[in-house]
Structure 1
């Protein structure tokens, strides 16, 4: 997140780190909608082979279905979160080239910038002024407008790094859809980390975190992981420091202690700048330890700092851009990002995934669609993959509880490039059963 975006688990491990910075930012720093009515029977092809029916819903006219989103386009990190709009527009260009949906073009009618601190106001403006059928993408560092979207019941799609995306049994928030699920589990075990220790022959683990509750909770999740899976991984946490201040630039003491403890793999709950600081200090003190990188799947990052991370590992919840063969969803994403002059990035991929889920819900809802039908249709999906970009997502469960498995793609850094580590040809994902102590992944 700190340099670019995402989805490791876009969720799970990447979100653990992203949520920490969101909490640091938070410390520092009427739902009415106008409605459009359609009364035409013209057909434009695509999903409109049948006669177009009249739809009375916000943002729907005879010719278009309007959506709008909010991103932290202006932000102190320099993150290009506004690229998520490009992903949505590329997906819409693909669909519109095939005739649109039910005789209507999909239109990105509103691109709001919350400038980090104005999310609630921008969400209110989106709902009250922009006349949109759905809210996407919502790629924001803070999500203070979430309750407005829940109350309005508008189908909402975005980047799940904020706790507001997650529902409860009492308030399930069934209209909020993250790019790869909506349930966060900060502090939960992450078996993929122990798996990386196992396959990299790492046995002594160091854990570093900031001295804020979210970072500490993240670190406790790493430690819990090795409590559960350490025996099979033949690895244990031998050094842990949860006392670091955000923005720390000197890790010489911690690295010296890890060197004395024989640490050969470090996992962190810190931003990318700190990870780089750590990499430099490990190199300076000649500590032969790899890192598990929960937030560094970015080739530009390796172009600049790849020499510090040779042999380290990353994890994504989507099929990596380096996948061979490329699944259909990845092929389409790459093709249409190029066609629309968009940048290939995790930010834009989040927007693409948001758009794909939205369109999937529209198609399942049928020609006489409305907002609630789209929401209900998506929540009936039990094996959603975005044409192979994701492992199976069960949207009947993803709002308020964790599933029984976690899936993602493992990558190793070789010669300053990401190289997928797969267990079966043509299947990019490794899936782990939770709370079992077993580190034998299945391929998807």
Structure 2
């Protein structure tokens, strides 16, 4: 069974592996295509084509997730779409180099891309982003997924489906989700071996405490020292939560740990206690678990497939994924978003573009939404990590998350989010409590 990761799930696993190992929205309209230009001397650019590299983890993926293949499916679907309309100023977009980093060889693969010098940009979906500093130092634009804030931080040529995020900072949605369900006794859980997981669990605890006066919530159980992968089960911890009267759990586990937690909750008669998961957006996986995840809440940062596709890129994404014979997956949408970011940056750089000019042009996009697939990103300032005390300088204009619950074999919007306005957004200027505003991005 294929499973998929989100940013929390991935950074948790990545950290565990490291310990073990030591004003543009990107619309879809394309102008009339001019004749092909001459090659502009940039790597991977010919008179008729722009060549890209892809590197990621397929072999030795510790979770068995559809990571590399699904990401590439989204990229190729996007390139097919653009090429059907003439490409970019007459040049076809092509993925000409693909490298499986086999988990431990991302740096070696990235150095190969640099030394070969025959691709313009790199689309990257590794489990360990050890080659990113080399690609950044070489001036090669990198387009990836939103799981690596520490690796992105400070590099103005690395892009994802969000700007650099602060995992350790409070997040409104962590308190809003249990508020929607009327739950007030909260547990927060994280892995001890993973700093990212600990930061996430601590942020959840801090969030509940910060907004306790407005929500009436309290943290009655917290544990950020769970063994990675929960090899010995989680029975004592669930018993402690049961004794504390826990009504809602914020989990910072990977997807396998989350399933182990849900199984133990059911075994101890706590199946009705919802888990807030920032992963598991995979309907096939959820259905395969029977009623194990019934009533759980998912935080989804990109436009969910259940959203309305009119006026945004979701309909195009679905159309071209179907044309390619590929399934709709979270990773494929991330691949599409990565390819859209590359396209819009090259387009904005204009004739005679270079890697440096594309980075400069992309960083001038102050309201980039990948055609309405993600909340607006200001690439002029979101390459640096925000802080708890200052969310505004380098953070998003709005803090947004889509909340869904799993019920009866399908995902449903909750908390005021709808198919037409799938995101719940709070002002990004401060961390004061407020009710979210249902929002759409075009």
Q: Fold match, TM over 0.5? A: yes
CA distance in 2, matches of 1:179, 1:79: 19
**Counterparts in 2 of 1:439 and 1:234: CA distance versus 1, 3 Å:** farther
1:343 CA displacement: 2.3
1:180 CA displacement: 2.2
What is aligned with 2:353?
369
Q: Is the 8 A contact 1:158 1:179 kept in 2?
A: yes
CA distance in 2, matches of 1:424, 1:417: 15
Q: Normalising by structure 2, what TM-score?
A: 0.89
Larger deviation: 276-285 or 101-110?
276-285
1:301 CA displacement: 1.6
**Are 1:431 and 2:425 matched, yes or no?**
yes
1:147 alignment partner, one of 125, 128, 133: 133
Q: Secondary structure at the match of 2:315?
A: helix
**Counterparts in 2 of 1:162 and 1:416: CA distance versus 1, 3 Å:** same
CA distance in 1, matches of 2:152, 2:142: 13
2:210 alignment partner, one of 205, 228, 241: 228
1:253 CA displacement: 1.2
**Counterparts in 2 of 1:407 and 1:271: CA distance versus 1, 3 Å:** same
Structure 2 unmatched ranges of 5 or more = 22-29, 385-393
Per-residue CA deviation, residues 135-154 of structure 1 (Å, 9 max, x unaligned), is 11x00110111111111111
Larger deviation: 138-147 or 213-222?
213-222
Output the aligned Cα RMSD. Answer: 2.0
| Alignment of structure 1 residues 17-416 onto 2, 5 Å | 17-29=9-21, 48-49=33-34, 52=37, 54-74=39-59, 75-82=61-68, 83-129=70-116, 131-136=118-123, 138-167=124-153, 172-181=154-163, 183-212=164-193, 213-248=195-230, 249-287=232-270, 288-400=272-384, 401-416=394-409
Q: Secondary structure at the match of 1:307?
A: coil
CA distance in 2, matches of 1:431, 1:135: 31
Q: Is the 8 A contact 1:267 1:292 kept in 2?
A: yes
Q: Is the 8 A contact 1:238 1:261 kept in 2?
A: yes
1:354 CA displacement: 0.4
Q: Secondary structure at the match of 1:328?
A: coil
1:51 CA displacement: 6.8
1:306 CA displacement: 4.5
1:408 CA displacement: 2.0
Q: How many residues align?
A: 415
Q: Is the 8 A contact 1:232 1:439 kept in 2?
A: no
Per-residue CA deviation, residues 59-82 of structure 1 (Å, 9 max, x unaligned), is 011111000010101112211112
Q: Is the 8 A contact 1:380 1:396 kept in 2?
A: yes
Per-residue CA deviation, residues 408-441 of structure 1 (Å, 9 max, x unaligned), is 2111111121112344661111112341122333
Per-residue CA deviation, residues 248-278 of structure 1 (Å, 9 max, x unaligned), is 2422211111111111101111122221121
Structure 1 unmatched ranges of 5 or more = 8-14, 30-44
Q: Is the 8 A contact 2:185 2:219 kept in 1?
A: yes
> Structure 1 stretches (4+) deviating beyond 6 angstroms?
none
